[in-house]
Every structure is written in structure tokens, then in C-alpha cells.
Amino acid sequence: MNQQLILSLWWVLPVIVILVMYKFVLRVFFGMVIVPDDRIGLVVKKYALSGDKRLPDGRIIAIHGEAGMQAKALAPGLYWAMWPWQFTITMEAFTIIEQGKLGLVKAKDGAPMDTGRVLGKPVDCDKFQDAIAFLDNKGQKGPQAAFLTPGSYRINTFLFEIVMVPITQIHENKVGIVTTLDGEPLDKGEIAGVSVAGHKNFQDPMAFINAGGMKGLQEDVILAGTYYLNPWFVVVEQVDMIYIPIGYVGVVNSFVGPEGKDTSGDAFKHGNIVKRNEKGVWDQPLDPGKHPVNIYTHAVEVVPTTNIVLNWADSRTEAHELDKNLCTITVRSSDGFTFNLDVSQIIHIPRNEAPKVIARFGNMKNLVSQVLEPTIANYFRNSAQKSDVIEFLANRIQRQDDAKEHISKVLNDYNVVGVDTLIGDIVPPPALMKTLTDRKLAEQEKVTYEIQRHAQIERKEFESAKAGADMQPEVVKSTRQVEINTQMAASKVAASRGEAEAKTINAKADAEVRITIAKADAEAKTVNAKADANATEVNGTAEAAKIRAIGLSEAEVTKQKTEAMGTEQYAIVRVAEALAAHGIKLVPDILVNGKDGGGNGMIDALIGTEMLKKLQKANEEQVSGGKVSGEKPSKKAEDDK
């Protein structure tokens, strides 16, 4: 049993050994090589059995089977006949370019670099993953213009060295000033390369070089953003954008660009004013805001277009500090006194005139030091020598107006507007000030003495007046008594005269009243008599006219009734009316006819009775109505009565 176990183990042991040593066996006897998925195999050939056995002079990478480091690397997979005594296999990890990084490539072998070039030309080599293609296509030894962007690459590190660098990021409110390390040399007299197209903000070095881009400082700048820039090709410096505040403009003096034609005219002899993007001072300044300007190829002078105050005073300086070096002006008067005065000058530079000012002076400080400072200081020195100190002080306003007019004319020749000239503090010499002070004190003392003298005179007059005022009550009393007696005597005389005149007036008034009353009575009686006579005449005339009118109307009525009814019928009616008026009944009130009479008997009698009553009632109302109205009864009615 034990022997059988031993025999079985004897067969198992070789199998186990073979299984354990299979890689060694395969590697040694069959030359098997396994390249993992995340590796490449770098091959070094120890010797060559056939063909060229040595590398050409100057080469370190074999591409045709020579002994040495092989250009062809082993990709992940299984390989045979790579015997260890002939080949050394090194497993190399993939080259990984992280995000935010660039892979700069330096070739250790290849064709020599072109004269004057610092970067190798890009060749078709699958992003440096095909070393044989790189060498066959005459890829150049040294730093390469092409680079690797973020990703994973199978790079043969025998041939290529990879350097990781961060990508270029231009921050907000910054501009990138570019200096290229490769390209054509700059033209004589130029300080920066001209702008060329197609290089994608210097991210394509060969496109830049092929387009004729020049080595060195570039006129073009790159703005805020992220760029894949090869630092072996360009050096980028970040600077702030040019900021022009509100109330200012930026005058640009360009050191690059084509030679432009002067636009300032023949009258301006102080520099060329050219159009934008030409070499010289641009005729159009930069307006307020932020501008991406290359500070090495363009100088921007910020010029205020609002009013500027400049102070010639030792203790005062404005925020712009253009008057920092200005000091109080010392002048000498015609009478030999030296004194100091402070002056403020207000100027304004129009927007369109700013380029001429900068072309003439270069900057604002030169304008102040070369024009304003000597002009204003010399004017006041000359003005002071024409008068003494006292006159200068007394005529300060006139001096100020004259200075404004003179300085404005001078500044106008320099394309500057003189807004106003103001004279500040004037400090006369101490000796003169003491003399003036003493004189003023003496004048004031004189005035004081004069006031005191007048005060004493007024005091004397006051005492005299006071004494007179003390006696005044007695004088007034005597005077008043005389006036009272005089008035009493005059009053008595006036009273006597008044009584006499009153008696005379009363007598005359009584007589006149009696005469007036008598005349009034006579006139009243005469008027009344005439009125009565006239009334009687009028009443008689009116009554006669009334009677006549009534008679005529009755006659006319009778005539018409007679004509209408006939004489006999009318007479019968009149008789009936008369009888009715006196209440005489010719027939019974009620007549009842029998059957043979053809009437209705009792009914007709009742109706007739009622009708008779109504006629009598109407007649009575008519008669009574005539009496109430005040009318007189007609003649016929009286006759009836």
C-alpha cells in the first residue's frame, strides 16, 4: 500500500515541477514573452545573428535589427523566439498625461536639427508611439515642436523623453505677452514680430514658423483662457490689462506696425500722428475701460480729459501728483520787496487734442515742467516787477484776470485749454507788514481820538441840555399858564359873539319859517282846488261816456234782436221778461194736460216746474252779481223797478 502511494507520488511530483517551472521553460526554451495590458516591452538586442550587426554612426536606436536598443517596442500580447540570451525585455508602464498637463517630447535619436532651429519638425509617427516611423520619416533629434495632450500613450522611452508641464492659463483681467523661441529672425529696426495667422494663439508652433513668424517678442497678445502652449517654443508673461478710468483717455504710442502717414497737418511739427495700428502716436486715443495692450510694443499715456488743478504751493498737492514738484512762487516788486504768493491753475485737455499733447511732450509731467511751470512763474515775476507790493495787493482781482487771459493764450498754442488762473495766499515781507500794521494802528488810534473828542463835545452838549431840561418844568408851567389865560379870555369873547350871532340867526330863522309856512299853505290850497276841479271834470266826462256807451250798446243789441226775432216777437219777449222780473205769473206754475192734450201729464208738469225754478235762480244770481261788482243798474233795469 505504501509502495503504491510512493509510486503515485513519483509521477505527480514531475507534473507539479513542470507546472511550476513552465514560464521558465517557455521563456528559456521557446523564448516566450507576455506583455501585460498596461505595459509595453522595451527590447534590447544583445547581438545580431544576421544582417547589419552594428548601428550607423551617431545612432543609438536600431530600426533594422541591429544590436542595441530597438525602436520597435512590444505592445501588450504574447511573443515567441525572444530568447533571453539574445534579448532583454523591460516592461515599461504607459505614459499617462494627466489633465491640466502637457507632455513635452525630447527625441534622443533622429536627424540633426535644422540650422537656427531649436525645435524638431513634427513628423507622422502616431503621436510618438511609432518610433520606427519617427526615425524613418527623418524626425529630428532634440526638443520637439509637437507635444502630447492629456491621455495615455505607448511611448518608447529609449527614444523619447517625456517632460510633464502644466498647461498655460491666462487669468481674468490679464493679457499674455508672448516671446517665441523659434522662428525667423526679426527684421532690422524691429522690436517685435509682426502678426501672422493660422497658429491658433501660438498653440501650433510649426504653423507659426511656416507662416513666417519671427523669433522674439510678439506684437500679438493672448487673452484670458486656457492654452496648450509649448514652453520650449513660447514664453508667456502675464500682465494687467490697461485700465483707463472715467474722465481719462489713453494715448497710444506704437513701436511696431507699418510706417503711417502723418495726419496732424503741416502746422504741427512735433511728431507724427498716425492712424490706429500704425507706428507712431495714434490719432484716436483709447476710451475709458480695459484694453488688452502689449506694454512692450505700445506705450499708453493716460491723459485726464476733465479739469486739472495744479497748485504752486508748498503745502498743497492734488491726488494726480502732477504738481508734486511745484512750489510757492517768489517774486520781487518794483520797490525792492520780495514776497511769496500761491497760484492755482486749472487746465483742460480735449479728447481729440490729447494725442498732440503727448506727441509734443511725451507725458503729462513734461507738459507741467516744460510749459506750465515756467510760463506761470515767469508771468507773475514779470507782473510783480511792474508795481509795488501795496499796489499788487490792492489790485489782486485785476492781476488775476490779466493772468488768466495771458496764460490761456499761451496754453492754446500747446493744444491745452486754460480754464482759470487763481491767486491764492499772498505773503508780503515781514518788514513791510510791520510798517503797514503800524500805519493801520496809527490810523485806528486817530479814529479813536476823533471819536473820543466828539464824545466829549456831545457830553458838554448833553450837560447843557440836561441843565436846561431841569428848568424846563417851570418854564413850561409859566408858558402853559399864559396860554391858558389867553385861551380863557378868547373863550369869553367868543362866547359873547356867539350869543349875539345866535339871537340874530334865530330871529331870521323864525321869520323865514313863518314865510315859508304861509307860502306852503297858499300853494297847497291852490293845488287842492285845481285838483278837485280837475277830478270833477274828469268824473263827469267819464260818466257821460259810460252812459252813452251803454245806451249805444243796448240800442245795438235791441236792433239786432228785433231784426233776428221780428218786432212782434221781440215785444212779446220783452213783456214776458218784465213780468218775470216783477214776479207776475201769467199762467200757472204747473199745467197738467189731459189725455186728449197730447202731453205726458204729470211728468211734463214736474219737468216744467224744475226748469222754471232754475231760470229764476239764474236770474237772481245775475242780478246779485251785478250789485256786488259795483256796477250801476242799467236804465232799463231802473225803469223796470
Query: If we measure between CA atoms, which residue out of 219, 363, 359 comes closest to residue 283?
Result: 359
Backbone angles phi, psi at 138, to 5 degrees: 65, 40
pLDDT tens, 134-147? 999 999 999 999 99
Selected residue with higher pLDDT from 307 and 596: 307
Q: Quickly tell me which residue has 501672422 as its cell.
A: 196
- With beta carbons less than 8 A apart as the criterion, state whether 247 and 288 touch: yes
Backbone angles phi, psi at 464, to 5 degrees: -60, -45
CA distance 570 to 553: 17
**What was the pLDDT predicted at 132?**
95
SS3 of 551-594: the string is HHHHHHHHHHHHHHHCHHHHHHHHHHHHHHHCCCCCCCCCCCCC
Query: If we measure between CA atoms, which residue out of 586, 587, 579 comes closest to residue 605?
Result: 587
509 bridge partner residues: none
SS3 96: strand
How far CA 528 is from CA of 515, 522, 524, 533, 541, in Å, comes to 20, 10, 6, 9, 20
> Can you count the helices (H) and strands (E) in the chain?
13, 26
Residues 6+ apart with CB under 8 A from 360: 270, 271, 414, 415
Q: Supply 87's cell numbers.
A: 534579448
Residues in the chain: 641
Percentage of the chain exceeding pLDDT 90: 45
How many other C-beta atoms lie within 10 A of the C-beta of residue 58? Answer: 10
Selected residue with higher pLDDT from 489 and 324: 324
Question: If you average pLDDT over residues 112-127, what whole number do you get?
Answer: 93
How many Cα atoms occupy the beta-carbon half-sphere of 491 within 13 Å?
6
pLDDT tens, 63-116? 988 899 999 999 999 999 898 999 999 999 999 999 999 999 999 999 999 988
Q: Supply 208's cell numbers.
A: 507659426
- With beta carbons less than 8 A apart as the criterion, state whether 297 and 219 touch: yes
How many other C-beta atoms lie within 10 A of the C-beta of residue 203? Answer: 17
CA distance 610 to 587: 15
Q: What is the distance of C-alpha 176 from the center of its chain?
A: 36
Q: Supply 525's cell numbers.
A: 290850497
How many other C-beta atoms lie within 10 A of the C-beta of residue 452? Answer: 10
pLDDT tens, 504-556? 777 776 767 777 776 767 676 776 767 676 766 767 676 777 777 777 777 77
Query: If we measure between CA atoms, which residue out of 74, 108, 71 comes closest to residue 89?
Result: 74
- With beta carbons less than 8 A apart as the criterion, state whether 295 and 254 touch: no
Confidence check: pLDDT of 315 > 50: yes
Element (H, E) at 420: strand 417-427
Q: Supply 147's cell numbers.
A: 507635444
Confidence band of 631 (pLDDT split at 50, 70, 90) = very low
Q: Quickly tell me which residue has 250798446 as its cell.
A: 553
Q: Supply 529's cell numbers.
A: 282846488
SS3 512: helix
Element (H, E) at 418: strand 417-427
How many other C-beta atoms lie within 10 A of the C-beta of residue 264? Answer: 19
- With beta carbons less than 8 A apart as the criterion, state whether 298 and 252 touch: yes
Long-range Cβ contacts of 463-468 (<8 Å, 24+ apart): none
Confidence check: pLDDT of 148 > 90: yes
Q: Supply 471's cell numbers.
A: 428848568
pLDDT tens, 20-36? 666 676 777 788 899 99
**What was the pLDDT predicted at 622?**
63
Q: DSSP label at 631?
A: P
pLDDT tens, 576-629? 676 666 665 555 555 555 544 444 555 565 666 666 676 667 667 665 655 444
Q: Supply 142's cell numbers.
A: 532634440
Q: What is the distance of C-alpha 513 from the center of its chain?
A: 97
333-352 burial, b if ≥16 CB within 10 A, otherwise e? beeebebbbbbbbebbbeee
Q: DSSP label at 38?
A: T
SS3 161: strand
Residues 6+ apart with CB under 8 A from 432: 337, 339, 389
pLDDT tens, 407-417? 999 999 899 99
Confidence band of 433 (pLDDT split at 50, 70, 90) = low
What is 252-294 written as a DSSP string? Answer: EEESSSPBPPP-S-TT--S--EE-TTSBEEESSPBPSEEE---
How many other C-beta atoms lie within 10 A of the C-beta of residue 229? Answer: 24
125-141 burial, b if ≥16 CB within 10 A, otherwise e? bebbbbbbbbbeeebbb
Q: Supply 50's cell numbers.
A: 544576421
SS3 219: strand
